[in-house]
Amino acid sequence: MATPIIAPSILAADFANLARDVQMLNESQADWIHIDIMDGVFVPNFSMGIPVLEAIKRHARKPLDVHLMIVNPENHIAAFQKAGAETISVHVEACQNLHRTIEQIKSLGCKAGVAINPHTSVMELENIIRDVELVCVMSVNPGFGGQKLIGNTYRKIKQLRELIIEHKSSAMIEIDGGVTLQNAQELRDAGADVLVAGSFVFNAGDPADTIRKLKSLK
C-alpha cells in the first residue's frame, strides 16, 4: 500500500502569516493544500473566498484541493478554477444536479470530487462514483475545525471502498475532520487514501514534523 496523501487544511493556519504557513507546507512532505470554502449558509461558519485563494495560489507549490461547503456551487466553480483550484469537491447535499456539476468541474480541467456529510449514506454516490476522482468523507460535522472524529467514519470508509471496487472506480477516499496520529493508521487500514489535517498540524509545536509522521504511515 502506498503512503497516504497528506493534505493539511489551511483553515487552521495563521491568516496574519499566511504566506509563511504556505511556504512551510511547500517545504514539508505535504502533498496537497486543502482549502475549505464556507458560505455561512450550507455550514454555520464563513471562511475564505476567491481573493484568499488567489493569494494562496501565488505562494503555493503544491496542488490546491478546494472543498466547497456552499449552496449552489455550480454558480462559482469557474471562479474557483480561475483562482487556482486543481481539485474541486462539491457536496452531494448541496447540488440540485450532481452529475452536471461534476461534468462542469471536469470541463474546466479540474479533478472532480464529491463530499458527504456524516449523516449521508455512501450509497448516495452509487450513480456517480465512476465519474469522480475523489470522495471527501466528512468525519466531523462541517463548519468548524478542532472537532473529534466521529466513530462511524471507519465503517463508512469500508462501505465506500466496497462501492469503489464494485463499480471499478478509480476514486480516492479523503477523510476530512479530526485526523490525528492516534487514528490515522486505523483510517488508512479502513481504506483511506488522503488525510486532511488542520488544527492537528498547525497547532503542533513542529507542523512540518507532524506532516512527516502522517506521511510515514503505511
Distance of alpha carbon 182 from alpha carbon 89, whole angstroms: 26
Residue ranges of alpha helices (H) inside 96-183 are: 98-107, 153-166
Q: Which of 36, 39, 65, 193 is labelled catalytic?
A: 36
Per the structure, the complete domain to which residue 56 belongs is given by 5-215
Model confidence pLDDT, tens digit, residues 182-196: 999 999 999 999 999
Q: Cite the beta strand spans of the chain per DSSP E.
A: 5-8, 33-38, 64-69, 87-91, 111-116, 134-138, 172-176, 194-197
Distance of alpha carbon 191 from alpha carbon 135, whole angstroms: 12
Q: Which of 31, 39, 65, 176 is labelled catalytic?
A: 176
Model confidence pLDDT, tens digit, residues 40-80: 888 777 777 899 999 999 999 999 999 999 999 999 999 99
Q: What is the DSSP letter of 144?
A: -
Read off the pLDDT band of 217 (50, 70, 90).
very high
Domain count, the chain: 1
Provide the angle, in degrees to the nearest 10, between the axes of the packed helices 207-215 and 18-27. 40
Q: What is the CATH number of the domain that holds 58?
A: 3.20.20.70
Is residue 36 part of the annotated active site? The answer reads: yes
Residue 143 has pLDDT above 60, yes or no: no
* Burial degree of 155 (CB within 10 A; 0-12, 13-18, 19+): exposed
Average pLDDT rounded to a whole number, residues 122-138: 97
Residue 142 has pLDDT above 60, yes or no: yes
Residues facing residue 68 across a β-bridge = 37, 90
User: Kindly report the CA angle at 50 between 45 and 51, in degrees rounded to 5?
Assistant: 105
Read off the pLDDT band of 206 (50, 70, 90).
very high
**pLDDT of res. 2:** 82
Q: Looking up cell 502533498, which residue turns up? A: 31
Read off the pLDDT band of 144 (50, 70, 90).
low
What mean pLDDT, rounded, does the chain reach?
93
Distance of alpha carbon 99 from alpha carbon 15, whole angstroms: 35
Provide the angle, in degrees to the nearest 10, between the axes of the packed helices 50-59 and 18-27. 50
Share of the chain above pLDDT 90, in %: 85
Q: Comparing C-alpha atoms, which of 157, 160, 190, 195 is closest to residue 175?
A: 195
**pLDDT of res. 145:** 59
